[in-house]
Structures are given as C-alpha cells and as structure tokens.
Structure 1
Amino acid sequence: MNEIISYFSSIPSSHRSLILVAGITIFWMIENAYPLFKFNYKKWHHAGINIFLTLTTIIVNFLLAFILLKTADWTINNNFGILQWLPKMSILLYTLIGLLLLDLIGAYLVHLVEHKVKFLWRFHFIHHTDTWIDTTTANRHHPGESIIRFAFTAMGVFIIGSPMWMIFLYQTLSVIATQFNHANIAIPKKVDTLLSYFIVSPDMHKVHHHHVMPYTDSNYGNIFSIWDRLFGTFRTLSKEEIIYGIDTHPNPTEHNNLKNLLKIPFQNQPVKEKK
C-alpha cells in the first residue's frame, strides 16, 4: 500500500494520460471481439465526437487542477475534513473510506443533482443523447458539465479532507471504471450480477442509458454500486429491452453532430416524460 501511495503522490501527467488512452484502447478491442450489441454506425466518426469531448474534459481538469491541490493541502495542514477526524486505522481501510466518500460526492451526488436540476441537466444530457454506447462514451461530457463535475469533486475534497495522492488514485480508478461500465462488452449475466454488488457493472450502467424514465433516472454510480443500492436508485432491466439515447432528442442529426451537441444546452429543451 505504501508503494501505491508513493506512486500516486507524484504520478506524472504522462502516466495519467497513458492510463486513459490504454483504457479506451483495451476496452475498444474487447468490445470489438465480444460486443453486447452489434451497432450499425460509423464507429470512427462516433469515436471522434466522443474523444473530442474527452479532450475538452482533460483540458478543463488540467486548467483547474491547482484548485484541487490547494484544497487538499489546506485540509491536511488544518486537520479539516472527515478523514482527518477519524480515529487511527489501517491505511487500507482509510483509503477505502476515502475512495467511497469521493465516489459519493464526486460521482453519485453530482450525477443525481444533474438529473434533478433543470439547468444542470441541459449540460449533462449531451451524454445521454448517444445512441451507440461504447467505451468512448465514458467521457462524452459537454465542457460545461466538466466544470460542474470538477466543482463537486473539489467540494468533496474539502468535505472529506482527502490527501492529493488519494485524489489521483480516485481519478485513475474513476476513469477506468467509467470506460469499463460504458464499454459495449458482453459479460455473462451471472458474472455481471455478481460484480454489480460491489462495483458498477456494464449491464447495471446500461440501464441508466435507457431512453425513458424512470430508468434514465437510476443507477447514478460510477465506481461503487453501494450508493445506488443504499439510496434506492438501483434498477435492473434486461438488455433486450434497452434502447439507448434520450426520448427528447431521437434524431441522429442532433446527437451525432458535434457542433449541435455543443449548442444544445443553450437551446429550448423539451421535458423528459415519465413512461
């Protein structure tokens, strides 16, 4: 564990970029070999849109990273935050608690709020317009949403009192988890169900991308599935019933056009319908 802490305390930016690229590449190859759904689409065009939006996410996080650094340093220096107030424990348990709490605020909570607050939903639902969910969809976020998610992560760091090495570890696990649970890969049902008791599995997250409510408003988690189960937002749906996309924007000219995707948050929006 000490080696892990040492590595993530000074992980080079090049390594973080390599992990992101390697993840997309590996899951891309797996989903090509063992696809959950056989899509009839221009895979490279689709990937190009999603990778461009991934790059904007990287830029936003890079430009604002100093905020996380300053926040983490302040909490440690001032003995502030949940982790700082806990009694002494093993470093493994300390890390697990920290990761769970970062996932709660930096992934589950922000995702839930984005679905409930109309203004924030305008930015988030660009992610939901994708009708061909694969590993490149993982970071299909409007630049505005990237800022929103960063703000929640910073708030989480402040409340939790996370050291910087834990933040880097969390962000690395988060990238891998979201690439995995968005990947268009066929996993045996029993294996996927078993995984879903601990982490967000591909089948579990695909339910969230079903095109109508209440399924769209469920399964908000990213790394750990405990929060959906604990707060009653966990739902299941057979893969045969899943239809990707969002019912308010079914037209490919809307969701498969980068220029339009960037404009959508500033256009008049139809209301999600309950089905």
Structure 2
Amino acid sequence: MENIINYFGSIPTLHRTIILVGGIAFFWILESVAPLFDFKYKKTKHAGLNIFFTLTTILVNFPLAFILVKSSDWAVASDFGIINWLPEMPIWAYALLGLMLLDLIGAYFIHWLEHQVKWMWMFHLIHHSDLNVDTTSANRHHPGESVFRFIFTTIAVVITGAPMWMVFMYQSISVVLSQFNHANISLPKSVNNILSYFIVTPNMHHVHHHYTQPYTDSNYGNIFAIWDRVFGTFRNLEKSQLIYGIDTYMSPEENEHIGPLLKIPFGAYREPENEKFKTKQ
C-alpha cells in the first residue's frame, strides 16, 4: 500500500495522460470487438466531437489545478476533514473511505444537483444529448460544466481532508471508471449483478442515458454503486428499451456539431413532456 501511496503522491503528468488516453483506446477497441449496440455512425467523427470537449475540460482544469493542491495541503496541515477526525485505522481503510467520500461529493452529489437546478441542467444536458453513447461520451462536458464540477471536486477534497496522493488516485480511478461505464459494451448478466453492487457498470449507467425521465434522473454514480442505492436513485431498464439522447434535443443538427452544443446553455429552456422544472427553479 505504501508503494501505491508513493506512486500517486508523485504521479508524473505523462502517466496521468497515459491513463486517460490508454483507457479510451482500450475500451474503444473492446466495444469495436463486442458492441452492445451496432451504431450506424461514423465512429471517428463521433469521437472527434467528444474529444473536443475532453480537451476543453483539460484546458479548464489545468490552470485551476493549483487550487486543488492548495486546498488539499491546507486540509492536511490543518488536520481538517472527515478522514482526519476519525480514529486511527489501517491505511487501506483510510484510502477506501476517502475515495468513497470524494466520489460521493465530487461525483454523485454534483451530478444529482445538475439534474435539480435548471441553469446547471442547461450545461449538463450537452452530455445527455449524445445519441450514440460510447467510451468517448464520458468526457463530453460543456466547459461551463467543467468549471462547477471542478469547484465541487475541490469542496470534496476539503470536506474529506484528502491528501494529494488520494486525490490523484481518485481522479485516475474516476477517469477509467467513467470510460468503462459509458463504453458501448454489456457485461454478462450474472457478472453485472455482482459488480453493480460495488462499482458502476455500463449496464447500470446506460440507463441514465435513456432519453426520458424518470430514467434520466437515476443512476448518478461514477465509481461506487452504493450511493444510488443508499439515496434511492437506482433504476433498471432492459437493453431493448434503451434509447440514447435527451428528449428535448434529439435532432442531429443540434447534438452533433460543436457550435450548437456550446450555445445550448445560453438558449431558451425546453420543457420536457413531464415538466422537469415546473416547480424547481
């Protein structure tokens, strides 16, 4: 465990890049060999659009990274945060609890919030507008959404009291799990039934990308599947019933081009059939 801590405490930028690119490449190949859906799309063109948003996320996060480092250093130096207030425990338990808290606040909670607050939803629905969900869809986020996701990651680091080795470990696992659970693959039912009690699987997360509610507002988790079960947001849907996209933006002219996608948060809100924000502002 000490070797793992030392590695993530000083993980080179090159290695973090390899994790990002290597994950996409691995799942890209896997979904080409055994796809869940036989999409009738130009896979390279689709990837190019989503990789554009991957690059904008990197451009947003890179100059802000020092805030994350300073926040973590302050929490550790001040003995602040949940894991620093608990009794002494084995390092593996310390790491697991920290990762779970980071995932809860920095992934599950902000994701749930994006579905509850109208202006946040206007940014987030760019992610949901993808009609052909595959591993590259994991990184399809509007630059504006990348900003407030970064803010909540920083809040998670402070509340958790996570040292930087734990933050880097969390981010690395988060990247790979997101690519995995968006990938156009399906696990055998028996395997999924077991795994989905521990981590978010493709079978579980694809339900979240169904084009209408209540499925859109379910299965928010990224790494740990427990949070959706704890907070009652877990749902199942058979593959045969899945339709990707978001009901208010089903036109390829709007969801397959960079310009229209970047403008969506600043346009008029389109009310879905069940009036998602009629009483929520």
Could you tell me how far apart the structure 2 residues matched to 1:193 and 1:202 are? 12
CA distance in 2, matches of 1:9, 1:188: 36
Amino acid at match of 2:268: N
What is the distance in 2 between the residues matched to 1:37 and 1:247?
A: 20
2:126 matched to which residue of 1?
126
Deviations 1:121-177 (A, max 9, x none): 010000000010000000100000000100000001111110000000000000000
More off after superposition, 59-68 vs 239-248: 59-68
1:143 pairs with 2:122: no
Q: Distance in 2 between matches of 1:145 and 1:46?
A: 20
Distance in 2 of aligned mates of 1:187 and 1:91: 32
* Distance in 2 (alpha carbons) for counterparts of 1:50 and 1:32: 17
Displacement of 1:272: 2.8
Gaps of 5+ in 2: 276-281
Quote the offset at 1:274 in angstroms.
3.0
Tell which deviates more after alignment, 183-192 or 254-263: 183-192
Shift of 1:271: 1.6
- Aligned position for 1:247: 247
State the Cα distance separating 1:17 from its structure 2 match. Answer: 0.6
Q: Which residue of 1 aligns with 2:84?
A: 84
| One-letter amino acid matched to 1:92 | W
The corresponding residue for 1:34 is 34
Deviation of 1:191 (Å): 1.0
Given that residues 8 and 165 in structure 1 are in contact (C-alpha distance below 8 angstroms), is that contact kept between their aligned partners in structure 2?
yes
TM-score, normalised via structure 2 length? 0.97
Match of 1:162 in 2: 162
Distance 1:81 1:271 in 2: 40
Q: Between 25-34 and 56-65, report the one with greater CA deviation.
A: 56-65
Q: Tell me how far apart the structure 2 counterparts of residues 272 and 169 of structure 1 sit (CA, whole Å).
A: 38
Deviations 1:176-226 (A, max 9, x none): 000000000132111112111100000100000000000000000000000
Aligned to 1:75: 75
Q: Which amino acid aligns with 2:86?
A: L
Residues in 2 aligned to 1:191 and 1:272: alpha-carbon distance in whole angstroms: 35
- Which residue does 1:52 correspond to in 2? 52
Determine the C-alpha separation between the residues in 1 that align with 2:59 and 2:93. Answer: 33
Cα shift readout 1:77-112 (whole Å, capped 9, x = no counterpart): 111110110100000000000000000001000000
The alignment yields a C-alpha RMSD, in angstroms, of 0.9
* In 2: Cα distance, 1:261 partner to 1:93 partner: 42
Alignment of 1:151-230 (within 5 A): 151-230=151-230
Is there any run of 5+ residues in structure 1 with no aligned partner, and where?
A: none
2:158 and 2:202 map into 1 onto residues whose CA distance is: 31
1:273, CA displacement in angstroms? 2.9
Alpha-carbon distance in structure 2 between the residues aligned to 1:258 and 1:63: 23
Structure 2 residue identity aligned to 1:144: G
Is the CA contact (8 Å cut-off) linking 1:214 and 1:274 kept in structure 2?
A: no
Q: Which residue of 2 aligns with 1:18?
A: 18
Partner of 1:105 in structure 2? 105
State the match for 2:279 in structure 1. Answer: none
Aligned positions, number: 275
8 Å CA contact 1:247–1:272 kept in 2: the answer is yes
Letter in 2 for 1:31: E
For the residues of structure 1 that align with 2:272 and 2:190, how far apart are their CA atoms?
33
Q: Runs of 4 or more off by more than 4 Å in structure 1?
A: none
8 Å contact kept, 1:5–1:165:
yes
**Mapped partners of 1:182, 1:118: distance in 2:** 24
